[in-house]
Structure 1
Amino acid sequence: MSSKEAQSSAYEVGPYGSGYHGDAPVSTIQHGQSYIQRAGPLQLKGYRHIFDPWTTAKWAFPNFYRKPSLGYQKLGQHRHCDVFDREWAGDYDDRYISSWDGKVSKLVVQAVDDIYDNNTGSTHRRTFIRNVAPLYLRLANWPFNHVDYSKNGGKPTSDDYPLLCLKWFVTSCIISLVISSPSPAEIAPRNGGNYDPVPYQYIGYPKVARNVLEMDGSRGRAPHQPNPVAERILRPRYLCFLREQGEPAIIMDVEEWITQYKSERNLTYVFIAYTAEQFQSSEDLRVLHQIADAAARNAGVMAYWVGCSCMPDPDQLQEDVYRICDVIRGAQSLAIAVGRPPNDVRGISTADLMLQQWGRRIWTFPEVLLAPAGKEIKVYMRGSDLLNPILVAKNQFAAKVWKDDAHVARQLIDHYEGNLILSQLELVTLALECLHKRDTTQYLRGDHSYALMGLVRIRPKIDPTDTAFQAFARLSLANGSDQLLERLICVLPKDPHQPWHSMNDAYEAKLWDILPQDVGIAGVGEDDSIILDGCRAANVRWKSFTPVAYTRRASWKRIIAQYMLRMGGVVFLLAIILLLFPFTLVIGVILLIYSLILMGLSPWLLRMLYLGKFWEQQCWFFGFEGYMDVDTIERQIFGGRLGRMKWTTNASPLSRHHRNEHGECLGDDPTSDPAVAALVEKAKTAGPGEQRIFTLVDTGNMTATLFQAERPPVCFLMAGSEGGMKRIIGCSYDWTNATMYRETVLRLGTHFEDKMSRIGRVKIGFKRSQHPFGPLAQVGEATGQEMK
């Protein structure tokens, strides 16, 4: 069958949902059968691709490849220093770290025929998939390679037998000629049977380190302050002290007031919360002070704190803004002032609407959480009776005001009320989720993290150069936070454009379900990255499959089959010689018949010799772009459909499984789900920045996993465990800044954990930015050279 006849096509679900498959009812599709239909088993073109006009040849393996259709713009030369101190300089392009020699080499990705022949939207080189199985295994399985195992319960049909018999005869003759002294199909293991290592080491400076000795002294940072901590204030710097009824309050330095009146013990105040959306002009602020004055008198205290007047020192303004949380903690009570906004276009006319507008601001959120426990919150509405404020119970505030995230916010309120104590990890996770849903007029890029600082014990000093992620990372390092960052990097985003602070996991796991795997954060990178130490790592081989070493138990059937195969050709030659002499004619005839029987049985004997389960095999991560059924994958590596390779049950969001009649969980072809089949079809024309479909073949577990990623991950880092499985982070490598970027997160069984070697510090980024690109004909191929 020609390759064109084997081309695949995906069918979308029809208007009747799962009831239709193209034009055929779904009832014709067997359980677990792929929605990608083919006219028989997939037949890859393999080396026939070298005759394609777009195939290019080179000396190094893979010798044949196809150039990408797109190239990166040459914005400057970049330098890379590898683990052996060799320097490479050149244009930006897609590269990986070779596990063979440690160099950064051009990334070449093997792809299925549909993608190789339709090379649109790629910035990396592609090559075709090669069959690397031993010759004898391919010969033994060749008579069966036209049988479609998805039909007739996996057995040949009556239509298959004529061609099967013809191919069996041809195979028997070939095997008999070459099998007398065959080279062994087994090969020596590599790396002691372990996965290929990742020869990587990050040697740069972090922006913030856990240990002071690792800081860059030339940047002007004091060596004793790797992550400087801000001191808490015990009382406000300034307060508005009440005077006679009808007279405006006087703003005084608190220390001066204590010195003057010798009354430190009786210093109590009300915290006045408001939003600048509702109080902007000088008249608005005058009314705000009237409300604050009434609130303080109603509470029976001598002063109040309001942000517009109690932070008068310009030199201390930045520190004062981020210390408001300490002011709230020291207040006698909380009063909220609301009013109709000056530019009201949404009809905010009732107290509830005004209060909800106030609650949408980021800085008002911690004000409620940190308000004195057990006390009602008083809400003063502009223009209403100031002697009768609206009383809102703190534990009902979420349901009344924070309607969008009431269930999450209520947990935080209960925590600060002492009714439901959250762990540090739960507190930070839930608070970050709520804060990022709220509005703010950005003062610094790290404002959301600085607002979060008020809720935790230790607060790093404000750094105006921090990005939002760096501010959060410094906060996490300072507080421990139950290894929050180590867990966060193991999250697989539901949406590829999901921001770093979103903890929505594609596996529906919570952050506290993920346990860091003997790893720790050593520092925070200059860009939005972390430096992780202690990972286990394994390289992915993308350029081709390679023969796999394995161990099988000896059996008497295999021993007999081996001797019979080895002796077949010798016996046939001996029979021919004996037939030449009359006195040995009978013996020659007997041996000839015996040898002919052996010839006819040779494909079956050869399959018997190499069939059976592996007790141990070389661990490899093979990758290719696109989708192939698991039978085709096994043929390309092991020579035939031997039943050893299976789809994973739950290693990827695209994995599918079912319960059999014995209650066992068995993996299904992912494309048995029409939604996954549609993704496979869509990914064939994916461009830069879009999700592609890749398949990871793990010979350690003898499984195949279909997954989505923007770029092919060149290595996997084992950094956590969850649900009885290990989480491995698939990373692409940006050699220009020695950073691994998370592309996907898969789940791996624990029994091959020790087959991955540990590496030192790894700089990992959450999201890799897209380098500018253009048609290859315009920008040209990237060039570079080894410097030393």
Structure 2
Amino acid sequence: MAAPNAPYAGFYQGPAPGIANAAYNTPPRKDEVQVIANPHEQDTITAAQHGTPEPKGYLHLLDPYTVFKWQFPNFYRKPGLGYEKLAKHRHVDVFEREWIGDYDDRYISAYDGKISKLVVQAVDDIYDNTTNSTWRRTFVRNIAPLYLRLANWPFNHVDYSRNGGNPTSEDWPLIFVKWFFASVAISFVIGTPRGAETPVRNNGFYDPFPYRYIGYPKTARNVLELDSPRGHALGETNPVSERILRPRYLCFLRQPGEPCLIMKVEDWIAQYKAESRLSYIMVAYTAEQFKSNEDLAVLHQIADAAARNAGVLAYWVSCSCMPDQEHLQEDVYRICDVIRGAHSLAIAVGRPWNDMQGITTTELMLQQWGNRIWTFPEVLLAPAGKDIKVYTRGSDLMSPVAVPKNQFAVQVWKDDAQIARQLVDHYEGNLILSQLELMTLALECLHKRNTTQWLRGDHSYALMGLLRIRPKIDPTDTAFQAFARLSLANGSDQLLERLICVLPKTPDQPWHSMDDAYHSKLWEIYPQDTSIAGIGHDNTIILDGCRAANVRWKSFMPIAYTRIFSWKRMAAQSILHVSGYVFWASIILMGVGSIAVGAPLFVYSLVLMGLSPYLLRLMYLGKFWGTQGLLFGFEGYMDIDTVERQIFGARLGRMRWTTMASPLSRHHKNEHGECVPDDPTSDTVTRALVERCKYARPGEQRVFTLVDTGNMTATLFLATRPPVCFILAGAEGGMQRGIGCSYDWTTATLYRETVLRFETPIQDKTFRVPRVKIGFDRPLHPVGGLGEVGEAKGGRVE
């Protein structure tokens, strides 16, 4: 196995968990989790099993790989990987400051709005043992005041989950020993104590996300937002294609045995003055079964017989009724209008010319026909209430197989019959779907079917035929852009606004999939004051009206909070604040000979010294009535006791795991029927996942923890990169959906990394952001060993 600084052609090849490798500094762990035989079995792990040791903190300064820098955090570890330097990139921040440099991981600072190198605090196992990231890592620091940590130290071995959090008889001996040493230590740091209270930031709001997208969209809702608005007429931001009321050409019947007459419909009407009698059938087929000239001749024989059996004057078949190359592209995507105006639908099937699967029966031929993308809307749009006639090559053309339209799904579309039947019922008029349901179900069915690609947006153009408003075909569209323009044109149900709030079930889930990791349907997600302002040039959308909160990854910081007034707390504060002065005054008095005055004061100060841990706990402990809203993140997992100690100095039951904010959240019902959060790693499968993700490669998902001090919760989640902000864009199930986004500063694009669920009051504590450019899937920039590619460089343009 190569050393961590070797180039990997874009991918990092790290060691598997438990494999010793000196180059990676990852010795096998004795507590390596063994995956259980039944992956769905869940066991409750005791605190001793899933608790994490106290982070080493500043002891990491002794590590040989810890590096110093001037800005905070002053100590960090360099990444083992770096991005290849393919070009210099430019960024303009919200204050119009320019930055030019190499591609690297950056975030937007909530403090000054600049893009800064991303530094992520990581648990000790990750900081010490892995070099598999492209971002810098730093160690977890305890930011509680020293004297507060000393005051809580005598109790930090008490298991809070036992005995209601109160010490037991087994705990008291060690508490007394630690109390003595804590009292002595406090006397050296409490001389002139300052309050542990922290000033409120942002009037109690979460840190803002100082971002604004200032580029042009490819497609906008308003013509004024285009790069050359004067060159566009009103309504041309997303031009709509006109419907055709009748086909351009039809194949008109002649005497039996004679070939049809292919003629322009307008010319036929002008010649025969018989517009009211014009009726035709549509003959559908697939090129897999009818391809050669001989095949097409047989196809016309079938079509002729089908038209005579239906008692109409003409038939339409795509191989002969779209001869104009000038209008060919438009006609291909308007076949939906042809079927809407047809008398009935006839399907011609035959054995494929290159059959390797033994497709010899009408049933199999019909199923192959139904597996093509363009045949799907032909059945849906076929005239309601009429059977679909199936003609098989080589069979009796006077006795076709009649398939009722409402039975077509169960007989032909067997792989997705349940969904397809709902669409058939909608067009039959006996089960009307909303437009959102129609687009969602139809898109799911279309993407399960095969096609020979004509344009990249073919799936969306096939869907377009099912809807009333259809944008004009743009050959430069990607599949996503075609779908996005279609959604804009039919935007009353805010399909894209809902789709961006979906959390994919798997990392490789395509953008068009509606599968949600929270098992919600698209119509159950409600956009919150957000709307699509435009479609980007690089498979992105431009959202407006969102609320956002910045995530601080480099460290925790003190939190402002409010508590109810207490005379006991006020008295303890007054007594303790003067204790230092009393102690030094007694020393001075006894030193100058005033023992009668100094001795009592000295005894008094010793009593206060012994009571100092209690008085400090009395001053600063207790329940919070309100806390400053901030989002902190760190890579890896720590139990909730450890997390709370790092921020507040002790585990006092103020923080809890979220119950339903992430697919990794866990909870149970207690004896009172209440929902109680569990440690996510109480699930052995999740615990094994936490261990495995420590060695993730670029492009693979890792485990992160988000700490929300606004509601005093922690959430374990999976993401490929650390999300630098959360954008509130929708609501579902009584909670807000927050899109966790990484930031590609080279294109000013936010990319969805995860979606978490937040309690609704977070809306009242977050700032709105202007236009944001969001993408679904961030491209993986080529990666190599840091020693090979070197660190990224850049600078501000003055």
CA distance in 2, matches of 1:53, 1:150: 38
After superposition, the C-alpha distances for 1:551-601 in whole angstroms (9 at most, x for unaligned) are: 11111221222233234445556666888999985x877666554443222
How many Å separate the matches in 2 of 1:739 and 1:16?
41
Cα deviation for residue 501 of structure 1 reads: 0.3
What displacement does 1:302 show? 0.3
Give the Cα separation in 2 of the matches to 1:207 and 1:34.
Answer: 56
1:129 aligns with 2:140: yes
Which range moved further: 575-584 or 218-227? 575-584
2:64 aligns with 53
1:283 and 1:720, CA in 2 relative to 1: closer, same or farther beyond 3 A? same
Aligned to 1:739: 749
Are residue 80 (structure 1) and residue 101 (structure 2) matched? no
SS in 1 for 2:326: helix
1:702-717 equivalent positions in 2, closer than 5 A: 702-717=712-727
Q: Aligned to 1:351, which of 359, 362, 374?
A: 362
Q: Does 1:296 align with 2:303?
A: no
Q: In terms of mean alpha carbon deviation, does 167-176 or 747-756 score higher? A: 167-176
Following superposition, the deviation at residue 321 of structure 1 comes to: 0.3
Matched to 1:757, the amino acid is F
Corresponding residue of 1:636: 646
Mapping of residues 263-282 of structure 1, within 5 Å? 263-282=274-293
SS at match of 1:117: helix
- Which of 172, 182, 202 is the equivalent residue of 1:171? 182
For 1:657 and 1:361, how far apart are their aligned partners in 2?
45
Q: Does the 8 A contact of 1:68 with 1:119 survive in 2?
A: no
Aligned to 2:34: 12
CA contact (8 A) 1:213 1:223 kept: no
Equivalent runs, 1:107-146 vs 2, <5 Å: 107-146=118-157
The amino acid of 2:642's aligned partner reads T
Amino acid at match of 2:748: A
2: CA distance, partners of 1:543 / 1:509 = 34
- What letter corresponds to residue 661 of structure 2 in structure 1? A
Equivalent positions of 1:20-59 (< 5 A) are 29-30=45-46, 33=47, 36=50, 42-59=53-70
Q: CA deviation at 1:295?
A: 0.4
Q: Distance in 2 between matches of 1:606 and 1:8?
A: 39
CA distance in structure 2 between the partners assigned to 1:91 and 1:130 by the alignment = 30
Distance 2:752 2:766 in 1: 18
1:699 aligns with 709
**SS of aligned partner of 1:265:** helix
1:321 lines up with 2:321 in the alignment: no
Distance 1:750 1:122 in 2: 34
Shift of 1:666: 1.4
Distance change >3 Å, CA 638–CA 510, structure 1 → 2 = same
Residue number in structure 1 paired with 2:456: 445
- Equivalent residue letter for 1:620: L
Residues 563 and 772 (structure 1), Cα distance of their counterparts in 2 relative to 1, 3 Å cut:
same
Q: Is the 8 A contact 1:35 1:677 kept in 2?
A: no
AA aligned to 2:549 is: A
The whole-number CA distance in structure 1 between the counterparts of 2:733 and 2:529 is: 17
AA aligned to 2:738 is I
Counterpart of 1:565 in structure 2: which amino acid? L
Among 619, 624, 627, the alignment partner of 1:614 is 624
Residue identity matched to 2:469: I
Residue 762 of structure 2 aligns to a residue whose secondary structure is helix
Partner of 1:500: 511
Contact 1:35 1:671 in 2 (8 A): no
Give distance in 2, aligned partners of 1:386 and 1:86.
75
The 1-side partners of 2:551 and 2:592 are apart by 61
Q: Distance in 2 between matches of 1:722 and 1:55?
A: 44
2:796 aligned with 1:774, yes or no?
Answer: no
SS at match of 1:713: coil
**Structure 2: gaps of 5 or more residues:** 1-25
When the two chains are superposed, the root-mean-square deviation of aligned CA atoms in Å is: 2.3
Give CA-to-partner distance per residue, 1:415-455, whole Å, 9 cap, x none: 00000000000000000000000000001000000000000
C-alpha separation in 2, matches of 1:598 and 1:69: 51
Question: Structure 2: which amino acid aligns with 1:679?
Answer: L
Q: For residue 427 of structure 1, what is the aligned residue in structure 2?
A: 438
Whether the 8 Å CA contact 1:269–1:305 is kept in 2: the answer is: yes
SS at match of 2:552: coil
Please tell me whether the aligned partners of residues 40 and 685 of structure 2 are also in contact (alpha carbons under 8 angstroms). no
Matches within 5 A, 1:498-537: 498-537=509-548
Is contact 2:192–2:581 with CA below 8 Å preserved after alignment?
no
How do 1:324-723 residues align onto structure 2 when only pairs under 5 Å count?
324-570=335-581, 572=583, 594-723=604-733
Per-residue Cα deviation, 1:40-67 (whole angstroms, up to 9, x for no partner) = x511111111121111111111111111
- 1:33-91 alpha-carbon deviations (Å, 9 max, x no partner): 5863x5xx511111111121111111111111111101101111111111111110111
Instruction: State the TM-score, normalizing by the size of structure 1.
Output: 0.94
CA distance in 2, matches of 1:215, 1:727: 30
- Give the match for residue 19 of structure 2: none
Flag the 1:8–1:577 CA change in 2: closer, same or farther, 3 A.
farther
| Contact persistence 2:223–2:229 (CA under 8 A) | no
Q: Are residues 1:256 and 2:267 paired? A: yes
Aligned mates of 2:31, 2:743 — CA distance in 1: 33
**Are residue 760 (structure 1) and residue 770 (structure 2) matched?**
yes
Distance in 2, Cα, partners of 1:441 & 1:475: 21
- Percent identical among aligned pairs is 71
Q: Indicate the larger mover: 100-109 or 319-328.
A: 100-109
* 1:89-108 matched pairs, under 5 angstroms: 89-108=100-119
Given residue 91 of structure 1, which amino acid in structure 2 is its aligned partner?
D
Q: SS in structure 2 opposite 1:404?
A: helix
Structure 1 residue 783 displacement after superposition: 0.6
Give distance in 2, aligned partners of 1:83 and 1:421: 47
Show the counterpart of 1:23.
Answer: none
Is the 1:34–1:670 contact (alpha carbons within 8 Å) kept by the matching residues of 2? Answer: no
Task: Tell me the distance in 2 between the aligned counterparts of 1:340 and 1:19.
Answer: 50
Question: Post-superposition shift, 1:214?
Answer: 0.9
1:380-438 Cα offsets, whole Å, 9 max, x none, are 11111111110111001000000000000000000000000000000000000000000
State how far apart, in whole Å, the 2-side matches of 1:419 and 1:396 are. 14
| Counterparts in 2 of 1:13 and 1:136: CA distance versus 1, 3 Å | same
In structure 2, C-alpha distance between the alignment counterparts of 1:388 and 1:477, rounded to whole Å: 46
Q: 1:581 to 1:106 in 2, by over 3 A?
A: closer
Q: CA deviation at 1:134?
A: 1.5
- Paired residues of 2:668 and 2:676 also in contact (CA < 8 A): yes
Range that drifts further, 113-122 or 528-537? 113-122
1:787 is the counterpart of 2:797? yes
Structure 2 SS opposite 1:315: coil
CA distance 1:624–1:581, shift in 2 (3 Å) = closer
Q: TM-score, normalised by structure 2?
A: 0.93
Q: Does the residue aligned with 1:540 lie in a helix, a strand or coil?
A: strand
Residue type of the alignment partner of 1:677: R
Q: 1:19 to 1:738 in 2, by over 3 A?
A: closer
2:94 & 2:679 partners in 1: Cα distance? Answer: 40
2: CA distance, partners of 1:173 / 1:120: 41
Shift of 1:377: 0.6
Distance 1:455 1:629 in 2: 52
SS of the residue corresponding to residue 199 of structure 1 reads coil
Inter-partner Cα distance in structure 2 for 1:754 and 1:463: 42
Letter of the 2:714 counterpart: A
Is 1:622–1:697's contact at 8 Å kept on the other side of the alignment? yes
Query: C-alpha distance in 2, partners of 1:723/1:396?
Result: 36
Task: Give the conservation status (yes or no) of the 8 Å contact 1:35–1:673.
Answer: no
